[in-house]
Amino acid sequence: MLSIVSVFNDHATLQRRLLSSLARQTVPCEVIIVDNRESQFANAAAALNHGAAGATGEWIVFVHQDVELLANDWLERAETHLVALQRVGWCGIAGRSTSGRWQGILRDRAGVFGEAFDAPVAVQTLDEVLLIHRNERGRRPYFDRQVPGWHAYGVEACCSAMRRGLVNYVLPLPIWHDSQSTNLAGLKLSHGYVWKKHRDAFSWIYTTCGVLPHSYGWSGSYRASTFLKRLKDSQYVDWIRTAGESAAVFAESPWQALERLTVDENVVECFHRRAWFPKLEAISFMDRPSRPRRIVHHYIGPQLGTVTADCLVVAPDLSPAVVETNWSPPPMTRTFVCVYLDSPVGKFGKWRQRLGPPSACALAIDMDGTRWGILEFARQCETARLYA
């Protein structure tokens, strides 16, 4: 059985999201709610350690009040993954690896982020929105009470676990983080404590809110890597220009680019590699929508099936498989194909052979440094459009 520990300051949000999704679960769980409406606890570590003290489950899930579990068998699947892991430190639903790669899949406010994966993936640190740890039963505290404020307590816990030879994992279990605000007050202070404590063990600490130490200018060693990234960017631009396309050059994230390019569409269907859940729905490509509409993310693999929307997006985790099939978009559908730019030439050529020259191309960069190419193929009845 899992024990759920959550600290809340808004009971309506707690009931609407977390508690309602827990009530739909296929397996029982222990729910421990810590009331912090009167600010009884000075920081997250103290509040969560207090809540976990009486937990009786084999595993403890530390989760924000505004999280909804996006499957009725979410806890059941989590338990299945947890019991199969070896030397596990912490588990969560989003994090970054020791190379900086972002891992996870979730709906964060209005948009869906990440790509589908089949099994737990090892990472360096995890996002604090949801953390899972084996019940220590009083052997040690879960979180360092010296971490100030309400940020980075999970990052510190993950670093401590790795220093003990344990492994942190992201689980392939989607959630909806329906936060009504973004409060980053005190983040730099929390990150500073974590870096000071663990800098002798890690060259870099990759978090979902930045990279320590260079996010704050605490280290000058980032200049060389920045130069190399710019050199690589110029190579991508040269490649796009050779292909004869117009492109916005890494001025935005993939989600910003897709939001900009599709903002006039009322319904967009996005296709991803296959996952155990068939689809996730959102109202934007961004966490904060410029214009709410219906964005349907399908996780059904290269057999895209029937497209009913006027606009479709083939995600970069799926486009290499789709281009090898005999699929072609419906003639009246506006189509965007996303590709990762680590080895773009061959795949781009195949898409040109399949659908003809793109009418536009945007170059975008994700938070972990992953470069995207977003190729637009206009409806057959339209005049090709170029985006500078």
Task: Report whether pLDDT(247) > 80.
Answer: no
Report residue 287 CA to chain centroid gap: 11
**What pLDDT sits at residue 163?**
98
**What pLDDT sits at residue 358?**
85
**What pLDDT sits at residue 332?**
82
Query: Across the strands, what pairs with 374?
Result: 338, 362
**Share of residues in the chain with pLDDT > 70 (%):** 89
**What pLDDT sits at residue 384?**
37
Region of poorest pLDDT, from 11-20, 123-132, 142-151, 245-254: 245-254
Would you place residue 355 in the very low, low, confident or very high pLDDT band (cuts 50, 70, 90)? confident
N- to C-terminal Cα separation, the chain: 54
Report residue 261 CA to chain centroid gap: 21
Return the top range by mean pLDDT from 120-124, 215-219, 326-330, 351-355: 120-124
How far is Cα 104 from Cα 96, in angstroms, rounded to an integer?
A: 9
**Mean pLDDT, to the nearest integer, of 277-292?**
95
**Share of residues in the chain with pLDDT > 90 (%):** 72
Cβ atoms < 10 Å from Cβ of 378: 16
List of domains in the chain: 2-216 (3.90.550.10), 222-377 (3.40.50)
Task: Report whether pLDDT(37) > 70.
Answer: yes
Instruction: Please state whether the predicted TM-score (pTM) of the whole model is above 0.85.
Output: yes
Q: pLDDT tens across 356-375, in order?
A: 888 888 889 998 988 898 99
Better-scored residue on pLDDT, 211 or 350: 211
**What pLDDT sits at residue 221?**
56
Task: Report whether pLDDT(341) > 70.
Answer: yes
**What pLDDT sits at residue 388?**
32
The whole-chain average pLDDT of the chain stands at 89
**What pLDDT sits at residue 240?**
59
